[in-house]
Chains A and B, each alone.
Chain A
Amino acid sequence: MKGGTIADRRVHPATVALRFLKDLPQTLIGLPALFALISDTGWSYVLLIALAAAIVLILVQWLSWRRFTYGVGAREIVIESGILSRNRRSIPFDRVQDVDIERGPLHRVFGLAKVRIETGGSAKDEGVLDSVTLAEADRIRVAVRAGKAGEALVDAASRPQEAEGQLVYAMSPGRVFASGFFNFSLVYLAGIFAALQTFEPLIPFDIKNPGRWIGLIDEDAVRGFTPRAWLAVLMVALLLGVVTGLVRTLASDWGFRLTSEGARLRLERGLSTRSEIVLPRNRIQLALIRSGPLRRVLGYAELFFQTLTAGKGGGGQHSVAPFATDEEVARVLGQGKRLQMPNRADMQRVSSRHVVRSAVRIAAAPLLAILAASFFRSEALFLLPLVPLLLASSFIRRRVHLYGLNGDTLFVRDGLWRQQLWILPIRNAQAVTLRRSILQRWLGLATLTVDTAGAPMLNAARIVDLDLARARALMADIAAGVSAARPQHDAAPGSVI
């Protein structure tokens, strides 16, 4: 990098020694295996091999040190690395969230430091300089900070202490109890079955044969373990599930308070260990409302705010109202920027061919399995009436899967049992993916996934089986929405410090 603040250079040469020392323990662990392999040869051979391995290790470290260069330019940091695979990474200053300096015990021995350049991305090793001298680390930090000078640097330590905030949502003890009842887990059910399996030799029947423990076939084998006993086990498991759910909820949600303090939301919760999370409003990426079947009937739901991954408060989804009425949910939502409940009229269903696809996906495998099983056991045919049930569920599935784009907010609702509603200001979209499997291409459908910062891997906002033309149009709308969003410091993840 020419004309930059810090010219291209390598990290400190002692890094080679440092990394070698760091890797040594792993290599030493490998040595006993080596002994076992060549136990009949002499010591000298083993030492020779160890020496050769050490030399190779050092050589590799040296090569990677030689190939690793970094430079700080006027606008960006450039890091080049890789022995065989060459990689050249540029990190614009505007995207740098923080420059961390880390020093492990080994670093201190050598008087070095590891510089970690954090951006809003989710990868851990975004920009790591391992290792430079402490003075150099400071220089890099200063250079990057200077490069960012256009932005107002808000130092976390120097921000003014604000007065007591305004209470947005709190849970009364009664509410916590009520919430606890719905948090029962069926893990215990599985646990008890697992236990039964473990102590199988002690139980006078064959647990591995499902036909027997359902009581369909071979009645007398079940005699040792009566249906009543089964019921008792089931009840105990359910009770355990409810009690643990209650205890867990009490411990985590007791005295839940969400207060609004200017630009931030403060969240306090917990019985014995009070935890406190501060959510800067402008870091809120989207809202997610989740509710189970029972809770929905009673009019309660849980509201989450999803925040950026980077930052001290931790990212991901934070429950900001674990058990709230619609009214309370709307009130808490109002605390976020550009978040609102959807109008019923804005929500649309996905393509009617969604039913066909989900029917094929849900029912095809069980149907085939039943037919195949009926070759061996004609009783299997009794399971056939279950298939229409599955088909019916795919009809319902389409009824509950809704989406809508209202101005700059995308709404997606999904889930048969556990319903989820995403409220996603499209300016926060990071990438949009349109995916079409073979079956979807035959049916002219597409699945649209909107990726956001801090989203859990498996639970991103997804619209399944849109009509292809619709999906394309929606994709274009979202892209236009992101582009049209005025460059604002608060909304762009990279520009938040």
Chain B
Amino acid sequence: MMLVGSVIRTLLVLAAASLGAAALHKNPGVAPAMVLVPLLVLLIYPTFVSPVRRYRAWGYRMDEEELRLAHGIYTQVETLVPLKRVQHLDISQGPLERSFGVCKLILHTAGTAHSRVVLPGLSRETAEAMRGEIRSHIRQEIE
């Protein structure tokens, strides 16, 4: 399911790359192939390898009491958010994400450095379900 997310990223990278290639292409005096071929070779990693790796590095687990996120290829970051510390929740969906039917769940806490914890690439149902779950935790804490 989260593979879709990586596809989106690939597309984004590809779009950026072709833009860059087009910009170079306009430069007169340089044979297009001379620039484009090495560029394409260089682009293999960022377009095909890196998104997959980045996707593989993403993970989350929701327990009774907390949400854990992990991401990052080189610098690996694990974040733990106690559910009762969540202030409010966003479900956000960009145009590309919408066409693939995925969305982002954003938890807002009262903290400073991690006041926004983003969990991307969730299906709409999962995100809604998680939101309901977290919401009930906030409620429980008060009662």
| Among B22-30, B38-46, B78-86, the stretch in contact with A | B78-86
CB within 8 A of B92: which of A87, A92, A151? A87
- Shortest A335–chain B CB gap in Å is 22
| Among B8-16, B48-56, B111-119, the stretch in contact with A | B111-119
> Is A432 an interface residue, CB under 8 A from the partner?
yes
B115, A123: Cβ atoms closer than 8 Å: yes
Beyond contacts A121-B108, A431-B109: 11 other A-B pairs, Cβ-Cβ < 8 A, are A87-B92, A88-B91, A309-B112, A431-B111, A433-B78, A433-B79, A441-B76, A455-B112, A475-B80, A482-B66, A494-B142
B110, A494: Cβ atoms closer than 8 Å: yes
B110, A309: Cβ atoms closer than 8 Å: yes
> Is A6 an interface residue, CB under 8 A from the partner?
no
Q: Which residues of A contact B89 (CB under 8 A)?
A: 89-90
Assuming the contacts A88-B92, A121-B108, A121-B110, asked whether A94 and B138 have C-beta atoms less than 8 A apart, the reply is yes
CB within 8 A of B84: which of A76, A433, A435, A483? A483
Q: Which residues of A contact B85 (CB under 8 A)?
A: 429-431, 482
Q: Which residues of A contact B113 (CB under 8 A)?
A: 431, 433, 449, 451, 455, 457, 460
- Shortest B2–chain A CB gap in Å is 19
B87, A119: Cβ atoms closer than 8 Å: yes
CA distance A435 to B87 in the complex (A): 24
CA distance A303 to B73 in the complex (A): 39
Q: Which residues of A contact B116 (CB under 8 A)?
A: 123
**Closest CB pairs A-B (n = 8):** A430-B111, A451-B111, A453-B110, A120-B110, A483-B65, A482-B82, A431-B114, A91-B88
24 inter-chain pairs at a CB distance below 8 angstroms, sorted by A residue, are A85-B93, A86-B92, A86-B94, A86-B98, A88-B90, A89-B89, A95-B87, A122-B111, A122-B115, A150-B142, A429-B82, A429-B85, A430-B110, A430-B114, A437-B74, A452-B112, A455-B111, A457-B113, A475-B80, A479-B66, A479-B80, A482-B85, A483-B82, A492-B84
Q: Which residues of B contact A475 (CB under 8 A)?
A: 78, 80
Assuming the contacts A84-B95, A122-B110, A453-B110, asked whether A435 and B90 have C-beta atoms less than 8 A apart, the reply is no
CA distance A88 to B91 in the complex (A): 5
Q: Which residues of A contact B117 (CB under 8 A)?
A: 431
Q: Which of A82, A120, A127, A454 has the most chain B CB within a 10 Å cutoff?
A: A120
CA distance A133 to B88 in the complex (A): 25
Q: Which residues of B contact A449 (CB under 8 A)?
A: 113
Q: Which residues of A contact B95 (CB under 8 A)?
A: 84-85
Q: Which residues of B contact A479 (CB under 8 A)?
A: 65-66, 80, 82
B76, A451: Cβ atoms closer than 8 Å: no
> Is A71 an interface residue, CB under 8 A from the partner?
no
Q: Which residues of A contact B112 (CB under 8 A)?
A: 122, 309, 451-457, 460
Q: Which residues of A contact B87 (CB under 8 A)?
A: 91, 95, 119-121, 126, 493-494
CA distance A89 to B106 in the complex (A): 9
Q: Report the nearest A residue to B131, measured CB to CB.
A: A90
CB within 8 A of B88: which of A84, A126, A487? A126
CA distance A92 to B81 in the complex (A): 17
B90, A95: Cβ atoms closer than 8 Å: no
> Is A264 an interface residue, CB under 8 A from the partner?
no
CB within 8 A of A84: which of B65, B78, B82, B94? B94
- Shortest A487–chain B CB gap in Å is 5
> Is A349 an interface residue, CB under 8 A from the partner?
no
CA distance A253 to B67 in the complex (A): 44
Assuming the contacts A433-B79, A433-B114, asked whether A123 and B108 have C-beta atoms less than 8 A apart, the reply is yes
A151, B142: Cβ atoms closer than 8 Å: yes
CA distance A449 to B111 in the complex (A): 12
Assuming the contacts A90-B131, A451-B112, asked whether A495 and B80 have C-beta atoms less than 8 A apart, the reply is no
Q: Which residues of A contact B114 (CB under 8 A)?
A: 430-431, 433, 451
CA distance A494 to B88 in the complex (A): 10
Contact indicator per residue, chain B 111-138, by CB within 8 Å of chain A (1) or not (0): 1111111000000000000010001001
Q: Which residues of A contact B35 (CB under 8 A)?
A: none
Contact indicator per residue, chain A 339-371, by CB within 8 Å of chain B (1) or not (0): 000000000000000000000000000000000
Q: Which residues of B contact A483 (CB under 8 A)?
A: 65-66, 82, 84
Q: Which residues of A contact B115 (CB under 8 A)?
A: 121-123, 430, 451
CA distance A431 to B118 in the complex (A): 13
> Is A438 an interface residue, CB under 8 A from the partner?
yes
- Shortest B15–chain A CB gap in Å is 15
> Is A308 an interface residue, CB under 8 A from the partner?
yes
A126, B108: Cβ atoms closer than 8 Å: yes
Q: Which residues of B contact A454 (CB under 8 A)?
A: 110, 112
Q: Which residues of B contact A88 (CB under 8 A)?
A: 90-92
A430, B109: Cβ atoms closer than 8 Å: yes
> Is A19 an interface residue, CB under 8 A from the partner?
no
- Shortest A243–chain B CB gap in Å is 35
A119, B88: Cβ atoms closer than 8 Å: yes
Q: Which residues of B contact A67 (CB under 8 A)?
A: none
B92, A434: Cβ atoms closer than 8 Å: no
> Is B77 an interface residue, CB under 8 A from the partner?
yes
- Shortest A457–chain B CB gap in Å is 6
Q: Which residues of A contact B75 (CB under 8 A)?
A: 435-438
Q: Which residues of B contact A451 (CB under 8 A)?
A: 109, 111-115
Q: Which residues of B contact A122 (CB under 8 A)?
A: 110-112, 115
B77, A86: Cβ atoms closer than 8 Å: no
CB within 8 A of A94: which of B78, B109, B139? B139
- Shortest A127–chain B CB gap in Å is 8
A95, B138: Cβ atoms closer than 8 Å: yes
CA distance A94 to B76 in the complex (A): 34
CA distance A431 to B94 in the complex (A): 26
Contact indicator per residue, chain A 416-450, by CB within 8 Å of chain B (1) or not (0): 00000000000001111111111001000000010
